[in-house]
Structure formats: C-alpha cells, structure tokens
Structure 1
C-alpha cells in the first residue's frame, strides 16, 4: 500500500551526547559561536550542576528565578535583565522550565540558546515556546527559540530523584505517543516516536533499579531527544491540549500531569487507529497498547492520579470546557465535552482506563 502524501520539516540543530563531557563541549560551543557575554539560566536547585559545567565561561549575567509554565511577568523581568546586560548567548542548565524561560527571552531578543538538560523534558529539541498569563497558557512555534546546540550529559541527571526521573520520562513518552496521531503526524516522526517509546521502556526501569548508573540515564536522554524531535514536527495532539490547560489554568506540575493523563488518551485513541496502537504496544514490549503501558507504569511506580497533584474534582467540568475548543479535528477518536469529563474524572481518581492490568 502506498504511503499517504506528507510534508516533513526537519529542524537544524547540533546534538552532543557524552557522559561527563558537558563542560568540555559547552566551552567548545561558546567558543564556536563567538559569544563573550553569556546569560546563564539555572534554578537554585541546579546551581551546583551549572557551576560544574560553566567554570571559565564568560558569564555576564546569572539568572536563578525559574518557574513552571513560564509566567509572563517572569519572562518580562528576564528579558529586561538580558537586554541590560547585552548578552549574546543564553546557556540554560536545567529542565523544561529553565529551557522554557530561555526560549521566552530568545523569542524577543533573538539571542541563541545552548541547552544543557538535566531532565527528560525534551523542550531543548523543539521550536515550541509557552507562556502563562493568569490562567491561560499560550504556546507557539518560532525558529528563534530552537536551541542551536543541545549538550546531553548523563552525569548531570544522576541527582534527579527517581520519582522525578520517572515523571519526566513519562512526560517524554507522552510526546512520543501523542506524535502517533497529532495533526502533523507522518511516517518519519512516527518512526522516531516508536524508537523513543522503545528506549524509555528499556531505560526507565534501569534508572529505577540503579539511580546512580549511567546506562539507563544515557538511554533516557537519547529517548528525550527522540521524543522531542517527533513532537516538534507532529505538533500538539489531544494529550498536549489537555495538559496545557491543566498546567496553565490549575498550575499542576508539568511532568506528573503528563504522566497521569497519558494512559487515558492512549485508551481513547489507540482503538481508533489499531495499526499505530500495535506499533506502540510492540515498542513497549508487546501485548495490547494500554496493557503494555500499564506494565511499565507499575514497574516504575509512575504517578497515577490528578487528585495527588492538586487537581480538584469539582473543576472537571470547567476544565473540559476549556480543553474542548483546542481538540484537534483530526483526533482519531470523537471527542466532546462528555468524553473529556469522563477522561478527566478517571485521571483525577487514578482509575486504570478500561480495566487494563
């Protein structure tokens, strides 16, 4: 059977992966880019990691205020500071919130970014930016926010607690699964997504079993890149539309929310596209798609309930109404407000969708 026609855009970016090599590679990139006034963005919790990899760099401004979902007020303060310091390169050492703030600055300042991830969020490999004002999260894409270089170093993720590692990994898995049927899904990003699922299914149990080991951490960083590249071209599907509302309107923690919502969207969509569901299941190790995901969720004790991360069941109706306008028309399964309310209520309670074991 011939392939359906598609157009696929590949983002240009340098990607470096070497355990223990971040300081060396970061210094080389700063030199290659000709930067002499670096803005270092790293939250206080990552300050020790930032110190390790930026010693000797021409840091003109160090910024430590970082928040999830990048509030507009924070972005404006950071932009003003960057302009006052006349920085010519942004170096972001941290997770998705840190990289997200760098993107918010680059969006207006047109200053390049070098990202040094310490989680598996994947923001470093996309041209997607997000800002939250009040209870509304706005996202968009622009080439100026895509980091020019990503430096992956598994030793920088060893201090990430196991629980956060799992949640972050499931956030990346959600990028992969959503890419299987997002509006821009095509054979290329689906291939990347399937490989990302396979890598996380292998790597996350290793991280849980040996948190200080580098094999699982290396795999998860590789998986994070695959997940982000697939998502970057496939775009936001139903899963991400749901999580953007939950994060922006209700200030729920980003990674945990993605981890909790993932199986519920998979249960809804996979039966409508059985060939893609089969590929997802095979990447997880075989069986039915949801059961395969559930095996991994149980093995690594992934987050299960929105009630555990601060979501109020009384807000289910309001949340569904907020989500509905953003549901992609191309979503494989029909979605209306009732479907969304059922999904959100099950995710709030931590129910296993469809009774999968």
Structure 2
C-alpha cells in the first residue's frame, strides 16, 4: 500500500427519522442564545416551523438564500443577523441555504447547525463558493464547516423524484472525484464506493416509491458518505467545469452536475483504471459513465446543457475560464478535448470514452 494522508473533519452528526426534535438541544450545546434561521423563499415555511421549535432561542427567519451564494445576498443576511442580535445560524435546505450560512460564518465565525433537505452535501465540507460580478470563486477554510448536522430523513420524503435524481447525482459526483483526486486515499475510497453504491441503488427505488423510508434513508446515508468524500478529499475537472458553468452562465447547480458528470468521468476514464474498477462495482455496470447518464435519462431530467439554457457559443469561453485556473486532474487538460466534452454535453449525447 502506498503512503497517504487522511484528515477527518470535526463535525457532529445526528442521523435518523424525526431527529429535528433534537434541534433545541443541539443549538444549546453550541452555546447559541439566538439563532437566525436561513432558508430560500420556497422553504420559508419550513424555516418558520424551526423558529417555533426554537422558541426564545430564535432570532427570526431570513429567507433570501439563492443559488451560487451571491455576495449581495450575503450582505443583506449579515445586516439581518446583526439587527436581530443573533449569535448563531440554523440553516434548513440544500446547497443554496447552506452556502449562505457558510458565507455568514466566514465573516463572523458564527456557529452553525444545518438540517439538509437535499443530497447536495455542502453541510459536510469546509468549502465555500461565492459569486460576484459573474464569476464564482471557491475557498477551503474550517471557519465555514458547520459544527452540527441534523439529518432527518423526513425532510427528504417530499423531495420530488426528478429533483431527487439531480440532487443525488450531485452527491455522486463528490464521491466519483474523491476516487481519483489529488488527496485520494484508501479510507475515502471505501466511503466513496459505498456512497455511490447506496445512492445509485436508492435513486432507482425512489423513482418507484418516493415515500419509501428505507430507500430515502439509504439515499441520505449515501449522500452523507459522498459529502464526507468532498469535505476530506478533493475535486478535479468535473467540479471545475460545474463551478465555471454555474458561476459564469448562472446554470442550476444540481442539474449542471447531472449533465456534466458522465462526460467528465468519460474524459478521465483512461487515466484512472483503479477508480474505474471501484465505479464498476458501485454502479454494477461495465460502463460507469454510461450508467450515470442512463440514470438521468431514465428519470427524465435534463441531460444536456442546451436544456439548462447554456448558449452554445459560450463553450469556448467556458473552456478559457477553466484553463485560466485549472484544478488538479489525473488527465492533462487539452483544449480541443475539453471543447468536445462540452459540445457532447451541450447536445446531450451519451458520453464517449
């Protein structure tokens, strides 16, 4: 076995069905006296329900969280935090809301309790992405890692089947890249393979029975494992492309991951033989990239950048931005090959190895 380094991240996890009941105790354990509850506009009702559970420990609800964590939204949230006399954060939602909580914590080091309602995985990472003037930038710092995560399977039962698939594919992407990222190691590889296997199996079952507790539990557990991979491991070409497409063209986060993942994996496949072995086991397919593409296709979710509103004439610009500040990748980034990758993704072609 080769030498490796594994860094475990300090986070408390409460997992199960009905675990939201533990929220007041978890907030109190962090010494939070007044928690500002964060949501998107669409999940304001869920945020208000949490504020009621918190009672006197609630500092109100801020419901303007948005995709890609726009800096201007964060500035409004900071003002609300100060005005309410808050000293902590409770975030309920997916990547948009969790990202906003992280952005606040980055600026004032406020403790965070997170209740995920999707499989995006941001809650388990010390990574924050923020968008300003049309560009999304990311950084890694423990200041933004939530202190406590409450996984309540009940919150995922009403996640629509199509949204379940795109959110699940977003999670799978974290684990796929952990298998061949620069920080890859045997511990994360075990988590990644199991996370991908749990999620791919659960996605098929959820399509048939969206309220199946066991399927939803497996999906959320798989998402947790995939998120740990993202938080403790690293990323490569897939995440770079998604950051570029999301930040520069305002494409929806989970759907962009869904479209790009099979193509980015196919691009790297020749350079990652051991990772491909693990992916064949996890997906139970000889062609993992095609298997991931077919999961999206069979669920009727977008499989092309064209469907997401990406202009075809933006492909060259996306490649330029990708090459300006590239992430580590096991295969060298070749301009013509990247253009072909994005052209295939734009048209929605099945990935070519």
Structure 1 length normalisation: TM-score? 0.94
Cα 1:53–1:217, aligned 2, differ >3 Å: closer, same or farther?
A: farther
Cα 1:33–1:328, aligned 2, differ >3 Å: closer, same or farther?
A: closer
Shift of residue 4, structure 1, vs aligned partner: 2.0
2:23 to 11, 22, 26: 26
* Distance in 2 of aligned mates of 1:188 and 1:182: 13
Shift of residue 302, structure 1, vs aligned partner: 4.1
Alignment of 1:51-90 (within 5 A): 51-57=48-54, 58-90=57-89
Shift of residue 189, structure 1, vs aligned partner: 1.5
* Distance in 2 of aligned mates of 1:78 and 1:33: 21
* Maintained 8 Å contact 1:49/1:156: no
Unaligned runs of 5+ in 2: none
Shift of residue 179, structure 1, vs aligned partner: 1.1
Deviation track 1:58-94 (CA, whole Å, cap 9, x = no partner) reads 2113100011001111111211221232311100011
- Is 1:208 the counterpart of 2:214 in the alignment? no
- Is 1:50 the counterpart of 2:50 in the alignment? no
* Distance in 2 of aligned mates of 1:84 and 1:36: 15
Unaligned runs of 5+ in 1: none
Q: Which residue of 2 aligns with 1:148?
A: 147
* Maintained 8 Å contact 1:260/1:347: yes
* Maintained 8 Å contact 1:195/1:283: yes
* Distance in 2 of aligned mates of 1:83 and 1:141: 25
- Is 1:249 the counterpart of 2:248 in the alignment? yes
* Distance in 1 of aligned mates of 2:42 and 2:201: 28
* Maintained 8 Å contact 1:69/1:97: yes
Shift of residue 129, structure 1, vs aligned partner: 0.8
Shift of residue 299, structure 1, vs aligned partner: 4.1
Shift of residue 220, structure 1, vs aligned partner: 1.3
Structure 2 length normalisation: TM-score? 0.95
**Mean Cα deviation higher: 183-192 or 273-282:** 183-192
Shift of residue 140, structure 1, vs aligned partner: 0.5
Deviation track 1:174-212 (CA, whole Å, cap 9, x = no partner) reads 111111112222222122111110011111112111112
Q: Which residue of 2 aligns with 1:162?
A: 161
Cα 1:64–1:151, aligned 2, differ >3 Å: closer, same or farther?
A: same
CA RMSD of aligned residues (A): 1.5
Deviation track 1:124-174 (CA, whole Å, cap 9, x = no partner) reads 000101110011111101111111111111111122211111100000011
* Maintained 8 Å contact 2:297/2:303: no
**Mean Cα deviation higher: 25-34 or 297-306:** 297-306
Q: Which residue of 2 aligns with 1:136?
A: 135
Cα 1:295–1:312, aligned 2, differ >3 Å: closer, same or farther?
A: closer
Q: Secondary structure at the match of 1:56?
A: helix
Alignment of 1:163-242 (within 5 A): 163-242=162-241
Shift of residue 306, structure 1, vs aligned partner: 0.6
Q: How many residues align?
A: 351
Deviation track 1:189-239 (CA, whole Å, cap 9, x = no partner) reads 122111110011111112111112222211111111111110112222110
* Distance in 1 of aligned mates of 2:81 and 2:209: 40
**Mean Cα deviation higher: 319-328 or 171-180:** 319-328
Deviation track 1:310-348 (CA, whole Å, cap 9, x = no partner) reads 10111111111111133334x222222111111111000
